[in-house]
Structure formats: structure tokens, C-alpha cells
């Protein structure tokens, strides 16, 4: 075992709370949806049974309508804001009221395919499969109510890319008046220069309060939200998960789930074409309320390579990444574009989980050289700067939280699977 793998496993174990992992101590003291699902990719290499438990714990808190929340507040902790009292979702174990990228279907298939204990994998996959399928169905019913084939996010936190430049223009429609006074906790754990601004936080909270006032009723939220963004990366993750769930369901003889997910994915891939931009050589977000593309070539449009998109689109994305003028691939926003900031969260920094998903998709589409360079940069960042939340794409400086679970998980997965 290399030193890097040993160190990465130590971080996962340090952040393990028995049936779920926290993303990092202090800054994120609960279970986060896509963090957990990506974490199992690393965890499975040293404790397969525990990796299944991670996803099972998350789905134990699935809402009756099918949504899987973005945070499960397993235990009280004052170190995070906004906590359960702000969300007030009324769930037996408190959760947030929004969702996150649908990585679970991809993680489920990866766990099943590579499992050493085949009997356990079969039993656990069979139990999880209908739950993941219900989440996918929820996305299409509640986030694509007019049947466009792609789903919208109603809050930047749903994408995980909280302060992307993509949201700057649409966020002008989100008011800030009337929000309850609050104290941020994130800036007490991480450098405020690396985090979203107060103006962004005010708008995040306005949206939470608006949705809360509607009783978190997902049949109402979409049309009531001034923020309805169709994010190509978010949709690509869902489409990839649907493809993986369809494949897995076929193998398990679950023909209904297979057909439904195959159809969702096919419709999604076709609809993604509406987000393509030739001038940018990548996909863009679409502002559903205005019915127009957002002129912001962020990493969301490169993460689209994670879905089974046409090979010429994947080749163009590989070229676009090569044209980024950074020391380390892949910047979350390209240097030189308005709004770029090398250290501020999703406005420039490199994130290993996104690198992993882009490289996986590009390799599948035949872009092995580009994929290999992204993976090599990822490992160099770790050697250079440790297991940070994210990294300056020019200097490799570690930013945000430290000893970060999903960063460590990616390192194990990359090095063990190589």
C-alpha cells in the first residue's frame, strides 16, 4: 500500500461516524448526499460492507415523495449554519429540504460490479435499486414538470457549486429582503476569502425561507422558485446514474426499472443538445425562467462528459480543457473569464471529485489521453498540497476545509483502480 493510500484511508476512518461519514470535521459535521455516494468509491477498497451501509444510511432518510435530501442532520451540532431549525422540514430525523447531484445510481453500480462478496452485493443492490429509481422518478416529476427531458435545480446548493459564476445573473432575480438575521459558521472554520460572499448567503437563505413557507411541498416548489436553472453537469450525473441503474436493473431482472431509466436517459441525452455552445466548445447552463443559455463556460459544461454524450462532443470538451491556461486541470471556471477567482470555492478552484467524473467520462468516450492528464494532475495536487477540499488551479494551494473525505476517497479509487 502506498503512503498516499494509507493517508487517505486514515482520513476516511477519522471522518467515519459508524454508519455515515462527515465530509470534514467542523465545517461539515453531518451527512451530505453526494459526498457520501462518492466516498463509497474509495471506502469499498478497504471495507466493502461499510461502503454499502453508507448509501443505505442516506436512503433511510429518503422522503416519501422520493426526494433524497442534500443533508441528513444525524446529530445536533451548532458548528454549522443553517441547521435543522432553519430548514424545519418536519422529518423524523431532521434533513434539509433540497436535493443534490444524483450520484447514487452510479455508485451503486460501481459497488455491485466490483464487489467481492457477490451474495451480499446482490441482496443489498436489490433493496437499494427501487429507492434510487424512485429518486430518479421524483426528479422528472418535480424538477421537469413541463417535460423538457432535463431537470432544473431550484437552489445553488443543489448543484454543490454554490457560488459558481453561472448563478451571478440569475441570482439578481432572488431578493434578499425580509430574511431572518443569521450568523454564518462556515467562515469560522475556513478562510472567508475561499467561501461564498454575504450577498450570496442572503440569497441562499431567501430561497430556503421561500420554500419553507410552501411547506417543502415539491409539487409547488419548482413553479414558485425565481431560480430554475438547468445545469449540464447536474443533468449529466443524473443521466449517467439512469444509464447505470438501467444496466444494473437488467442484470437483476428488474425490467420495469430498466426500461424507465433507459427512457429517461435517452430523452436526457437528446435534450442536452439544447445546452451545447459551439463558440465555447462545451455545454452551458440554461436559465429556464428566461429560456436562454447562461453565457458562462463553467466546469458544469465539462462535467457533462460524465454522461453518454456523443463522441464528438466529448472530443470538443477534451480540447476545451486543454485550452485552459492553468497549471492544474480542471479549473471550475476558466482563468481570464469575468468572475474568475483562483481561491473562491467554485469560481476557479480545482475539485478532485469533478476531475474524477470528467476523466471517467472522457475515458469511456475514447479520450484516454485527456483523461490521463486530468488524473495525473489530481494525484500531483495531493502530493503537492494534501487532502484539501479544493485547490488553486495555478499554484496548487490547498483551499477550504482540510482532511477532506471525498478528496481522500478519490485518491484511493484512482490509485487502486489504476
**Three-state SS at 323:** helix
Binders in 179-218 for ligand DGY, by CB under 6 A = 186
- Residue partners of 236: CB distance under 8 A and separation at least 6: 272, 303, 304, 305, 306, 307, 309, 361
Q: Please, which residue, 377 or 389, has the CB nearer to ligand DGY?
A: 389
Q: Please, which residue, 86 or 315, has the CB nearer to ligand DGY?
A: 86
Q: Please, which residue, 34 or 276, has the CB nearer to ligand DGY?
A: 34
Q: Please, which residue, 19 or 187, has the CB nearer to ligand DGY?
A: 187
State how far Cα 409 lies from the chain centre.
Answer: 14
- Give the interface size with ligand DGY as a residue count (CB under 6 A): 4
Q: Please, which residue, 28 or 283, has the CB nearer to ligand DGY?
A: 28
Instruction: Note whether 162 binds ligand DGY by CB under 6 A.
Output: yes
Give how far Cα 316 sits from Cα of 53, 280, 331, 358, 370, Å.
Answer: 39, 9, 17, 13, 11
Q: Please, which residue, 24 or 235, has the CB nearer to ligand DGY?
A: 24
Rounded to whole angstroms, how far apart are CA atoms 17 and 106? 23
- Residue partners of 212: CB distance under 8 A and separation at least 6: 86, 87, 88, 97
Binders in 60-99 for ligand DGY, by CB under 6 A = 70
Q: Please, which residue, 186 or 244, has the CB nearer to ligand DGY?
A: 186
- Considering the complex, what minimum distance in angstroms separates the CB of residue 212 from ligand DGY? 16
- Comparing every residue's Cβ against ligand DGY, the nearest one is 157
- Considering the complex, what minimum distance in angstroms separates the CB of residue 122 from ligand DGY? 33
Rounded to whole angstroms, how far apart are CA atoms 232 and 354? 13
Give how far Cα 104 sits from Cα of 10, 52, 163, 277, Å.
Answer: 24, 11, 24, 29
- Considering the complex, what minimum distance in angstroms separates the CB of residue 204 from ligand DGY? 8
- Burial track 387-408 (b if 16+ CB lie within 10 A, e otherwise): bbbbbbbbebbbbbbbbbbbbb
Provide the annotated active-site residues.
Answer: 162, 389
- Residue partners of 392: CB distance under 8 A and separation at least 6: 342, 343, 348, 349, 350, 399
Report DSSP letters for 49-105, one per residue. Answer: HHHHHHHHHHHTT--TTS---SEE--S--TTSSS-HHHH----SS-B-SS----THH
Instruction: Note whether 35 binds ligand DGY by CB under 6 A.
Output: no
Largest CA distance in the chain: 55
Helix (H) or strand (E) holding 398: strand 398-399
Q: Please, which residue, 194 or 329, has the CB nearer to ligand DGY?
A: 194
Rounded to whole angstroms, how far apart are CA atoms 265 and 237? 10
- Considering the complex, what minimum distance in angstroms separates the CB of residue 162 from ligand DGY? 5
Helix (H) or strand (E) holding 108: helix 104-114
Instruction: Note whether 157 binds ligand DGY by CB under 6 A.
Output: yes
Dihedral, CA of residue 114, residue 120, residue 122 and residue 126, to nearest 10: -120
- Considering the complex, what minimum distance in angstroms separates the CB of residue 351 from ligand DGY? 12
Give yes or no for a contact between 346 and 332, defined as CB atoms under 8 angstroms apart: yes
**Three-state SS at 347:** coil
Q: How many other C-beta atoms can be found within 10 angstroms of the C-beta atom of residue 235?
A: 33
- Considering the complex, what minimum distance in angstroms separates the CB of residue 308 from ligand DGY? 28
- Considering the complex, what minimum distance in angstroms separates the CB of residue 26 from ligand DGY? 12
- Considering the complex, what minimum distance in angstroms separates the CB of residue 90 from ligand DGY? 19
Q: What residue ranges bind ligand DGY (CB under 6 A)? A: 70, 157, 162, 186
Amino acid at each position: 500500500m502506498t503512503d498516499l493510500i494509507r493517508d487517505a484511508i486514515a482520513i476516511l476512518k477519522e471522518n467515519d461516524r459508524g454508519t455515515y461519514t462527515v465530509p470534514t470535521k467542523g465545517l461539515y459535521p453531518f451527512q451530505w448526499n453526494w459526498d457520501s455516494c462518492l466516498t463509497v468509491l474509495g471506502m469499498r477498497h478497504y471495507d466493502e460492507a461499510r461502503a454499502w451501509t453508507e448509501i443505505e444510511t442516506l436512503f433511510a432518510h429518503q422522503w416519501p415523495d422520493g426526494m433524497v435530501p442534500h443533508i441528513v442532520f444525524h446529530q445536533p451540532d451548532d458548528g454549522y449554519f443553517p441547521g435543522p431549525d432553519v430548514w424545519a422540514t418536519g422529518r423524523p430525523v431532521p434533513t434539509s429540504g433540497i436535493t443534490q447531484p444524483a450520484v447514487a445510481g452510479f455508485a451503486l453500480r460501481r459497488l455491485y460490479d466490483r464487489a467481492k462478496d457477490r451474495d451480499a452485493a446482490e441482496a443489498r443492490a436489490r433493496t437499494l435499486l427501487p429507492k434510487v429509481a424512485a429518486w430518479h422518478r421524483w426528479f422528472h416529476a418535480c424538477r421537469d414538470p413541463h417535460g423538457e427531458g432535463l431537470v432544473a435545480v431550484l437552489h445553488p446548493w443543489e448543484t454543490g457549486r454554490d457560488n459558481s459564476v453561472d448563478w451571478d445573473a440569475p441570482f439578481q432575480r432572488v431578493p434578499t429582503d425580509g430574511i431572518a438575521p443569521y450568523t454564518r459558521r462556515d467562515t469560522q472554520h475556513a478562510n472567508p476569502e475561499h467561501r461564498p460572499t454575504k450577498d450570496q448567503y442572503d440569497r441562499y437563505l431567501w430561497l430556503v425561507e421561500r420554500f419553507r413557507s410552501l411547506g417543502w411541498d415539491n409539487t409547488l416548489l419548482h413553479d414558485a422558485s425565481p431560480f430554475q436553472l438547468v445545469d449540464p453537469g447536474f443533468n449529466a450525473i443524473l443521466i449517467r446514474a439512469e444509464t447505470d441503474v438501467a444496466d444494473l436493473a437488467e442484470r437483476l431482472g428488474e425490467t420495469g426499472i430498466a426500461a424507465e431509466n433507459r427512457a429517461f436517459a435517452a430523452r436526457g441525452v437528446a435534450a442536452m443538445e439544447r445546452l451545447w455552445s459551439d463558440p465555447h466548445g462545451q455545454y452551458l447552463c440554461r436559465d429556464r425562467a428566461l429560456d436562454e443559455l447562461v453565457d458562462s463556460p463553467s466546469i458544469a459544461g465539462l462535467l457533462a462528459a460524465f454522461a453518454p454524450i456523443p463522441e464528438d462532443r466529448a472530443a470538443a470538451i477534451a480540447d476545451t480543457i486543454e485550452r485552459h491556461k492553468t497549471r492544474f486541470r480542471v479549473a471550475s471556471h476558466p482563468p481570464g473569464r469575468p468572475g474568475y477567482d483562483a481561491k473562491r470555492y467554485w469560481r476557479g478552484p480545482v475539485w478532485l471529485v469533478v476531475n474524477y467524473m470528467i476523466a471517467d467520462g472522457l475515458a469511456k468516450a475514447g479520450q484516454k489521453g485527456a483523461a490521463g492528464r486530468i488524473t495525473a494532475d489530481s494525484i500531483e495536487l495531493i502530493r503537492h498540497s494534501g487532502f484539501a477540499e479544493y485547490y488553486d488551479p495555478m499554484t496548487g494551494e490547498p483551499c477550504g476545509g482540510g482532511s477532506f473525505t471525498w478528496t481522500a476517497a478519490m485518491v484511493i479509487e484512482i490509485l487502486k483502480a489504476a
